[in-house]
Amino acid sequence: MYKFPKAKFADENTVVEQIDHLYSEIEECLQALDEQSKDLFHLAEEIFDVSHSAETALRIIESLEGPEFLRNVKYFVIAKNADRGYYPSWEVEQKPSLDIDLTAIENEQRVFAGMLKVVMEEMFSFLLEKNAKYGNSCLEPLRVFSKSPTDEQINVRMDDKLSRIAQDRVGDDEDPELDLLGYLLIKKVWSKLNGAYHG
C-alpha cells in the first residue's frame, strides 16, 4: 500500500499533529507552484513530500484501527471514484450508473456495496455489448441446427462453461466464470420476459 519508507513521525505524531504537518507540506507545494515555470523539479519534490506526509498520516491511522480497516477505506474510495468516472480504463461505452447513494449505507457495508455497484455496472455493459455483437442471440437464437427452446439453449451454454471450469480448459482470452454469471443473468431476463421468474 505504501510507496515510501516509514518515517519516524508515524510512531511519534498523533493524527492531528501529522495533519498539521501535511498542511505545511501543502503550503510549500503551493509556494513551489508559483515557481513551476522555472523549476519543475522543485515542484515535483514538494508534491512527493505531500504524498509522503499523507502516507505517514495513514500509517498512524493504521496503527490505531488496523490494516484491514485501512484496506476497506481504500477499496471504498476506489469504488467511489470509479463511480465518478475518474478511471477511464474502467469505463465502457454506454456504462450505466446504478442510482445508489453509498454514503447512506452503513459503514460496514460501504466497501461491499461500492465494489458490488462497480461490478454490476461493468456486467451490465459487458452483457449489453455481447448482446449487440451477437444480434440478441441469447433471447432470439438463430436456430440453424438446434431447435431447442431458448431457455434450454441458455442452459446448454451454462453447462459448457461449467465443464470448462471443472476441467480447467480455459483459453487465455476467456473468462468462463464471467460468462457463466452473464448467462445466469440472461436466463433471469428471459424468465421475466416469459413470466417464469420466481426468484
The answer, as to whether pTM is greater than 0.85, is: no
Handedness of CA 178, 184, 185, 187 (dihedral sign): positive
* C-alpha cell recorded at residue 12: 511519534
Please provide the average confidence, as pLDDT, over all residues in the chain: 81
Mean pLDDT of 10-28: 95
Total domains, the chain: 3
Instruction: Please tell me whether residues 142 and 163 are part of one structural domain.
Output: yes
- With a CB cutoff of 8 Å and minimum separation 6, the contacts of 136 are none
Assigned domain for 70 exists = no
Alpha carbons 62 and 97: distance in angstroms, whole number: 32
Domain boundary among 98, 113, 133: 133
Residues spanned by the domain of 30: 1-65
Alpha carbons 78 and 118: distance in angstroms, whole number: 10
Assigned domain for 12 exists = yes
User: What local confidence, expressed as pLDDT, does residue 90 receive?
Assistant: 53
Mean pLDDT of 57-78: 85
Q: Is the pLDDT of residue 94 over 50?
A: no
Assigned domain for 199 exists = no
Instruction: Please tell me whether residues 141 and 129 are part of one structural domain.
Output: no
Instruction: Please tell me whether residues 125 and 179 are part of one structural domain.
Output: no
